[in-house]
Amino acid sequence: MQIRQRKLKDDTSAPHINVRSRNIKHPRKLKKFFIFLIVLALCITYFLGLFANQSQWLDGIAKSLGYESVYHHAVIIDAGSSGSRVLAYKFRVPFTVFGPGNLDLVDEYFEQSKPGLSSYADDPAKGADTIVQLIKKAEFLTPPEKRKTTPLIVRATAGLRLLPADKAQQLIDHVARAIAELGYDVGSDGVQIMDGSDEGIFIWYTINLLHNLIGGSTMAALDLGGGSTQITYQLSNSETANFPKKDQFVVPAGDNITLYTHSYLKLGLLAARFGVFQSEALKDETQEFRSVCVDPIIQREQWTYANKNYFVSGAFRVHGSKRSAVYAACHAVVRRSVMAAVDWEPKKAPLGSVAAMSYFYDVAADAGIIDVMTGGQVSVSAYRKAALEACSTPNVDQPWACIDLVYIVTLLQDVYKISDDEPIYLFKKVNGHEVSWALGLAYTTIMNRIVITP
């Protein structure tokens, strides 16, 4: 689905009109008439504004009077680098009188499986079957009679973007053939590798839809997957000159607005971890890594990345090394590796409130910074404090805690320019709904298919 739109230019071609003044013979009658028009206009404006801002109230009255809602469904597969997820959605069209129509999310189903689709590069038929099994688990949410009009969309992310082109295409072809037999509406572009910019835009849609911020003051969205990371936020007209044109997209969100979004391939959490280990290796082709970001108690810990097995050990440390020195040594290695992979960096922090998802959440939860069930507010300094602790405390249960926390500090601080104490809001769910780019894709797909009349 394409959501890019050409930016509309203001029409400045209207001719200038000269209005000549005239003598008025009946000023009192005309004055009364103009007062009547002004009062009438004010009343209309008031009631339009009243009803436009009371859509939920009007919808509730309409339902109590027997208004029958129209429902739409969508099934989205997120074929990520670390796992595949199915997200099935049920939307309803609320009753509206004034203003643009929209969709309310009333139900969803979420299920996931591991490993990710890219792990089946040498057995694409088996990989396709994992996708089919996920879709079948979500069948109950879409009535059989509606499946032929329900969009079924599979989008693979950085895991497939990192595969050789022929391997990735084999997986796409096998999945496309398999899901074509399930009775859903699978378009010609039903199975694709998702562009990083779309991933960023759709997660931005999701977080702002769930907080009911579309059309108002929106939140910036930071997403950290296994293979890539995305940053997306709204730009004002005066700010567009400071960002690359290729990273700007005009999207419908109330009015048409301009979003900045950038995807960093190979800077997802797992890809960045591999990049750091590789940068410390004595030779390019090796399965043995030794890192200053891993505690010396860890020796030959097996780790699988991109279908290959590696053994990682902690580098020797001088006995009694200060906590800050251990952190500094890891940060230096991580920063060097990360900045070498950065193809563009903004000059200042994201605009507005900042929401972060995926591995930003998971790493914080594992470190005890937030509640694993409810999320919460963090900051760069909170991640750094946890990193200082993790880098100097032997922990065989969490061997990658130091490097992952230091990486997140580096990404937020050195790449995204977020200051130490700026609040970052971490979400896994909002009002019971999974925070995933899949919701943004489902919403915009259905909105593009239907015309909602007031």
Catalytic annotation, residues:
199
Tell whether residue 227 is among the known ligand binding residues: yes
d(CA 219, CA 354): 6
If you ran DSSP here, which 8-state letter would residue 7 be given?
P
Measured distance between the N- and C-terminal CA atoms of the chain, rounded to whole angstroms:
25
d(CA 87, CA 76): 5
- 151 beta partners: 185
d(CA 95, CA 102): 9
Tell whether residue 393 is among the known ligand binding residues: no
d(CA 23, CA 416): 64
Taking alpha carbons only, the member of 387, 264, 274 closest to residue 330 is 387
| Contact indicator for 75, 138 with CB cutoff of 8 Å | yes
d(CA 407, CA 293): 10
Contacts of 331 (CB under 8 A, 6+ apart): 406, 409, 410
d(CA 263, CA 343): 10
d(CA 64, CA 97): 16
Q: Please give the annotated binding residues, written as ranges.
A: 226-230
Binding residues for ATP: 226-230
